[in-house]
Every structure is written in structure tokens, then in C-alpha cells.
Amino acid sequence: MTETHKFHGTVLREYDIRGIIGKTLTAADARAIGRGFGTMVVRGGGDRVCVGYDGRLSSVELEAALVEGLVSTGLHVERIGLGPTGMLYFATRDRGASAGVMITGSHNPPDYNGFKMMLGKAPVYGPAILEIGEIAAKGDYAVGKGASEKIDIQDVYVERLLKDYDGVKELSVAWDAGNGAAGEILKRLTAKLPGKHILLFEDIDGNFPNHHPDPTMPENLVDLQKAVAENKCDIGIAFDGDGDRIGAVDAGGRIVWGDQLVAIYASEVLKTHPGGTIIADVKASQTLFDEIERLGGKPLMWKTGHSLLKAKMAETNSPLAGEMSGHIFFADKWYGFDDALYCGVRLVSLVGKSDKTLAELRDVLPEVFNTPEVRFQADEERKFAVVKEVKARLAASGAKVNDIDGVRVNTEDGWWLLRASNTQDVLVARCEAFSPEGLERLKALLVEQLSASGISAPSDF
């Protein structure tokens, strides 16, 4: 009898696979993912897969089950072990593997985990993720005699991270690994990087005892801000749970948001790629798109999601792309994937050869008044429906709407955005205005639309 497997309805997502351990995601799911994805690799002519995992408590068990599934399809699996997602992406490219799988819950709570995949040099997302579910549901697996071996790529990876550092002055930098998967590599990296380095929470601990590893939330940057102030640092850099998203603060402790970092990187990248297309997601500030244009680049607004941006970069031959959430992708000198450790090296290098501080580079952008990403609780099944309802009401009112990903609404005051998260059971919103009064009006418009769909805004919004 053919062995089949059915995944929980919320697990196979737009650009990765994600679930709650013991509830929607189990070792049996990991084994089926290995068999399903392995089947896709084998039938596409592949023979070798790299596998890595993050520091979550459930990751070791999931990795073992995944590898068992991959091996059963006839693949040779190179197990690179515990580390950041960027190390898995790098290993897959550097070793010429047919595919790569990273077991990670990214920035989600400790009881979440999931899988990020690449096939060849490209991310696996959308229909390809659904195909894994279809193969498993039919039990239509490839069968072969594979094998696995452990590979240590840490030193090779660290050397590659350091290769593009060309700072002139040595800086004082505070780094917050948030007890996430980047910790061990960060220790090795900063030991060789010029300057003074203060490390926070570099020990990998899946309980995340100090703060949640999500650098988009201001409360998670408080320890970093304190370390920058106490040690008189030039820069503070933070990572998420799997080290593919960067957060930063300047010497005064001000947060430098993801879209502001893209603008700073663009000032360097466009010197060697004049007229290049720089991509940012729909959550990014209008000041970023304006700055790219001012620097002689071609700004392109695209959908949120690391897989979607990587695919768009390849399509447009873009040297740089980024998200408000801190996923930043260099194809300039790098491989086009998001690696916050590499972004950290590039930031220290850029400031280290500039006659401006990070604060001064940030202040090139005109002042606007905006909210950070604001998340509103909405059930998995309900969140997409709410966006459709809002879009329909806006269409009926004749509002100016960009619907490339959710709804981004332009008014005389600025713009507001509402979209459904692909990784959490929330709606994500953002507002940006030219004045504080305008910001309040935009927030009121957003709250009005949410209320009309039965979603309550937090009292402090």
C-alpha cells in the first residue's frame, strides 16, 4: 500500500513551510517534506542536498527526520549543522549542491519551526511548495539508496563574509545575536574583523531567555541601544532568530530601519551599478524610492517575502533589494540571498570608509512621520478575507490604491498599507505621512477600514 501524508492546512505557505511544534508541525511532517522535496530534486536531475538547522529546541529532531526522508529518495545529504540561514544558502552555492533546506522558525515564537528551501540557485515558493504537499498526499515518492555525511563549512563561510570588508577606519560595534543561530559564527567573524566588538547574547539558546529575536520590534533593540550608549559605539547591529534579518541603531541609539539601511547601501551599490534597479517591498518608505531615483537608480516596489524578492532580483538583474523587515539582499559582490551577517559586514565597511557617521548617512533621507510595522491579530482563515473586503470598499470609494501586495493607499497626507502576513496569523499595517497631523488622519482611515471588517486596533495605535 502507498504511504501517503497530509499536512495541516496552515503549514504550506507562500514562501516557506511553517508550523507550531506538536500542533501543526511534527517529525512525521519533516520526514514527508524530505521525501516530497527530495522527489522534486531527484526528478529534476539533482543528486546532492545541503541541510542546516537553527538553535530552536525542536530543530535537531526535525533535521534528523528531514534527512531520513531525503536519503530515502536516493539523495546524498551534506549536513552542515547548527548555524544561520545564510550559512546554508552559502554552503549550497559554494559546494555546488542541487538544493538546500534550512530548518528554522526564523523570528517566530519558540514553539514555531519550519523550512526554507532552495532548488539550484533559486528559492522554492508558491506552487513549488504546494507540489510537496501534492506528492505527499499521493505518496508519489522517488525511492533510492542515498546517504548522509556531516560537513563543517563554518571557517570557509566566515572567510567569505570577511572578503568584502574594505573599511578604512576601525569602528566600535555592538552586536546582538539574540541567542539565535548566528551566535557562533558571529564570535568567529568579529574575532577577525578590524575594530572593537561588543557581543550580546551570542550563546545559542532556543528558549530566547533575554529577548525575542525579532529586530523589527523596538522593544527587542533596548539591550543593543544600552550597549551602544555604555560603550560609546559607532554602530549597533542585531539579528533575528536565524540570522537572515538585520536591525541597526546609530551612535545615538536611534533605530535605522530596514528601508533606511537599503537607502544607505544603495548609495554605495549604485556607484558600481549606475542606473541599476533597486527593489524594495510595499512596506518601505516613499523616501527610499525617492532616494534611489535621486542616486540615479531605478526604484521598483514589489511584494513582501524573501523568496518573492529574490526571484524578482534575478528577473531584473538587480544588484540590491530589501524589505522593511530587515531582509536585505546583495547581488553586488554577493549571491543575491539575504544574509544579515554579510549585511553587517557591509554596513561596518561602508561606515568605516565614509566621512559620515551612520547617523549622518541616515539623515540624508528627508524626515517623515511613520509607524513601524503594526500587527493586528487575525485568524489564518480570516486575514486574507479582510484585505479583500478593504480592497473592495476602497475600489468603490475611488481611492488611489496599489494592490501589488495587500492594499497601499495614497492620500494627500502620505500613504497607508494593509496586508496579510504570510508567516503569522496577523494583518500587517503601516502609515507614513508628511506631518504628525497627517499621520493621525492616515491611522484613523486605517482603523475605520479595519473596524468595518470587525478587526479591533490596539488602544495605543
For 269, phi then psi, to 5°, come to: -65, -40
- Check: CB of residue 11 under 8 Å from CB of residue 24: yes
Q: Answer for the pair 407, 417: CB distance below 8 angstroms, yes or no.
A: yes
Q: Identify whether 106 is a catalytic site residue.
A: yes
Contact in structure between 308 and 422 (CB atoms under 8 Å): no
CA distances from 29 to 114, 250, 285 (A): 10, 43, 39
Catalytic residue among 58, 106, 307, 349: 106
Distance between CA atoms of residues 3 and 140, nearest Å: 9
Residue with cell 556607484: 271
Q: Quote the cell numbers at residue 328.
A: 536585505
Neighbours of 198 (CB within 10 A): 17
Neighbours of 222 (CB within 10 A): 13
Task: Supply 379's cell numbers.
Answer: 485568524
Rounded to 5°, the CA angle 6-8-14 comes to: 105
Positions annotated as catalytic residues are 106
